[in-house]
Structures are given as structure tokens and as C-alpha cells.
Chains A and B, each alone.
Chain A
């Protein structure tokens, strides 16, 4: 099962016009967190918020919808959100924290919850984890390098970055520039090369643009918690749905990309094992499903 265990798969988007305007795709992460905050399902959320530097996110504890909105949109670089969870729980005293994580961060959180060796009274404070699809991530300098060198755009003029249709898109106020996503290869951080998870298989709800038309997001509900909150958000009209296209540009594409990330990672995992380099996952010969995230 290359998409992990899920209860429901659908297309969704936030019905809030303001969120639609500023969010990356369907605004599911932003919309869900705002809804959960309004409904007191969470009392704050850890998000990749803005920092002093353009396009460099800062893991931030958001306590209001405005602060959640300020973090809308994808930043294609590292934001150690798990770190800020500590701040959320210890400094802000959140009892029911929401958090947005990419798959590797979800994995760190879930490992902490199952084996909370040194992390006292934190495991039970995560009320909602929204997982984001992720193919790979870039260090800030890598991102800056290929935006300025490949797209030839001054970093400060960039208004939005996006990945879609095999291309990396850079939007400025009066221009849209793209280059093949293949050209970012060699810039991605190498830790991503052994990652078996594109779709945040362990999150409560995962979402991303792959398999969705423009301005919509694919959504998978996974845990009981996630499924319940998502249904509440839909019933309340905060999120609208439309069935996922099963075909080439929908589920098929998502499945294909998730599978291809896993296959590439397994090759690298096996190669590392042969070299005697450490890697926390099993070799393909050691597991039943060679593509499982184990």
C-alpha cells in the first residue's frame, strides 16, 4: 500500500475566500487549523511561520487564526517544527497542540509518542497533526541558489513558489518563470534519499497538491482523530469536497509518485546497507512489503 493506511481519500478546499487567496493549493492545512482553533479542538498550532528573512520559515507557535494565516503557503526549505512543539507545550502551555509536519517530522513525532524516553508530558499534547505531502526538501542556500541561478529571479521579488506538472514555478508580481523539476536534483538534502514516505502516512490527516487540480488539495484521513475532525470541518462548511479523479492526473499520479519515491529510497537504503553505512530502515530483503515504511 504505497499511500499508507487511510480512511477516506478526497479532494478538498477551504471555503474561506481569504484562505483560498493566500494558501498554496486548497488551503486544507490552514483551513483545518483555523477550524480546529475556532472549535477549541486545539488551543494553538505549530506552523512554519515567517521569519525576518524572505522565504526562510521559522517554526512558530500560532495562537490565533491571523497567525495561522500568516504561515499559509509552502516554503521549500527546512522548518524544524518538532522543535517548536516544545515551546508550544512548555512556554505557551498548550494542552491541545495542532502541528503541521512533513513526513519525516511526523515520523519523529510518532516515535516520540510511542517511545517518549526523555520527553515528559509532551506525547499527549498533540491533538491534531496535519501531514503535508513531500517529495524532498532543500536547505535554504540550495533553494536560494536555484531560484536566483536557474530562474534568474531576485529572491526578494518572489511571491510564490510551486511545484507542479514536472516543473518548479516561481511567481513574481509580473512574471511566472519555470524550470524542470529535474534541475533541482542535486540540491535536495541527502537525508531525503532514504525517505520512504511521500504522503505523511502516520499523520492524522495528510494533504498535498499531487493528484489534485489547481486550487484543490488531495486529502487523506488516517487516524480516528483525523477522520473525526475532518468530517466536523466538512459538516461545518469550513471545507468543501469533490471526488478525487481516479485517473492519470488524480489517484494514479499520486500512487505513481509515492511508489517511485519509495522505490528510489529502497535502492539507496540497500546500497547503504551494502556499504555498511547506518540506516534505520530494513533492507528490501528483510521485509515482506519491500515498499513499506519500516
Chain B
């Protein structure tokens, strides 16, 4: 299975002679230790879950053979209430920001933190608040619901995976890294936990203002809403289109630089 995912991701397959007894034992061991995963849906649009499911080629075996989905309303029909306690989880993916006025969301999030080994802010709503940052309440279904914050504002988060939505590829890569215990790959996601106040204007504040911009256009390439363009070799933000997902700054080669991983991926 792992080989299939690696093939899908274009990761280099091991030469045959190495795929020996050792490998078989490793796979057997993996079988034993299938990570228990939960999916918690707070204030998000389900786009992150949909992106996960867009790993068509690997989805069925992923969900059935590689991990146990033990909790979640969308991916597994499991609900939590006073009679049915939330199960223990190795990893909980939290989609959506948390509404401070929504007692149910707050209670669920706090319970997840208790029950999960690792909490992942999955997608930009959970990681940075994303477009729920614009909420001001005064609307149905509950006019009182006005304050939506990244989950890290309320509970300790272990990994953040921004993206509106995160690409299917980063989700698959992360799953592989978690299964392999590849902490080096996950390190940037640990670092991104602290990046909760995101905005397209970060490009100006943290890159151009800091004499780091080189006009490569990666920010404009990655913006999911085309809020970022390039004018005279510098990013130009259309604030009306910005959803505050933080992807432009996250992908900028001048925000953080994963040199070792890139060399490894390229076989250099």
C-alpha cells in the first residue's frame, strides 16, 4: 500500500532487492499499528474533507487498510454525545475555525484535545481562521455566532496544515509521513502552528518590507482566490478577494526554506 502511495506521489520506489524480508516485516508492523484517526468538523465548508477524498487512487485502501477512522460525521458515521463517549484517537484532523459563542463546538474541541494524541489544524479555517475571520454575527442561523478563531487560540495544536483547501497531495504526503514517523517532513507543519494571523498583506509586511522579495511570483501562483497579482515584479494584493488563508506567505520561498527535503525529493 505504502509503495502504491509513494508511486502516486512520485516518490522514488526502492530497488527490488531491498524490498526484502525487512520491508515485509515493516509492512506487517504497520498493519498492526494502524493509526486511529478522527475528523472533527467545526466552522468550515467541508472543502478540506473533499480535498482529502480527491486522492481517488489511494482513498479506499487508505481509509480501510492504512488507518482506522474512529470518529467523524462525514468520513465515518460516528457521533458523540453524553451516552457515546468520544473514542481515543492517535490523530485528530480538525476542519474549520471554532466559534467562541457556539457551546457545542467549544465542548467538542476541548474533548478532542483530551482524546487525541495529535491535533491537526486541518485547512486554513482551522489554522488561520481563513475567511471566517470576516464574520461579524447578526445573521441566521444564530445571530449570536460572531467570533470565529483558529483552533490554536483555544487548544494546543500539534500540526497546522493551511490551505483553502490543502491540496490532495499535501494531505497524502502528510499521511505517509505520519505513518512513517517522518518527523522531518512534519517539522514545517509544527512551525506553522504559530502562524494564526494570516493575510495576503503578509507578503508586503514580511517579505517586501523586509527586503526579501525577489519577484518570483510563487505567491500569485498559489493564491486560491487570485487575490494576488504581480505588478512591476512585486505582489499586489486585491484585499477584497483575500480570504486570509495564508497560503501566499506559506508557499513563498522567502518565508521558510526546506532545503534538505527538496534535495531529497529531487534526488540531489
Binding site for B on A (CB under 8 A): 4-5, 59, 77-86, 101-102, 104-105, 107-124, 137, 139-141, 189-195, 201-202, 222-224, 277-281, 292-294
Contact B262 A111 (CB under 8 A): yes
Which of the listed residues A105, A119, A121, A292 has the most CB atoms from chain B within 10 Å of its own CB?
A119
Q: Which A residues lie within 8 Å of B252 (CB)? A: 108
Binding site for A on B (CB under 8 A): 10, 51, 54, 124, 161-170, 173, 188, 206, 210-218, 220-222, 224, 229-230, 232-233, 245, 247, 250-263, 265-268
A to B CB contacts below 8 Å, 26 in the list:
A80-B230, A82-B216, A82-B217, A82-B218, A105-B218, A108-B217, A108-B252, A108-B253, A110-B265, A111-B257, A112-B251, A116-B173, A117-B222, A117-B250, A119-B221, A119-B251, A122-B167, A140-B232, A189-B233, A190-B211, A194-B212, A201-B268, A222-B268, A278-B212, A281-B257, A293-B259
Q: How far is the CB of A61 from chain B (nearest CB, A)?
A: 13
Q: Which A residues lie within 8 Å of B255 (CB)? A: 280
Contact B216 A5 (CB under 8 A): no
Contact B253 A118 (CB under 8 A): no
Q: Which B residues lie within 8 Å of A201 (CB)? A: 268
Contact A111 B10 (CB under 8 A): no
Contact B224 A113 (CB under 8 A): no
Q: Which B residues lie within 8 Å of A109 (CB)? A: 218
Contact B260 A294 (CB under 8 A): yes
Q: How far is the CB of B49 from chain A (nearest CB, A)?
A: 14
Q: How far is the CB of B186 from chain A (nearest CB, A)?
A: 11
| Cα of A112 to Cα of B15 in the assembled complex, Å | 27
With known contacts A82-B217, A195-B214, A280-B257, A114–B168 Cβ distance under 8 A:
no
Q: Which A residues lie within 8 Å of B245 (CB)? A: 118
| Cα of A6 to Cα of B165 in the assembled complex, Å | 36
Contact A111 B217 (CB under 8 A): no
7 more CB-based (< 8 A) A-B contacts, given A81-B216, A139-B232: A5-B263, A81-B217, A111-B257, A115-B188, A119-B221, A120-B168, A121-B169
With known contacts A83-B230, A113-B265, A116-B167, A280–B253 Cβ distance under 8 A:
yes
Q: Which B residues lie within 8 Å of A78 (CB)? A: 215, 232-233
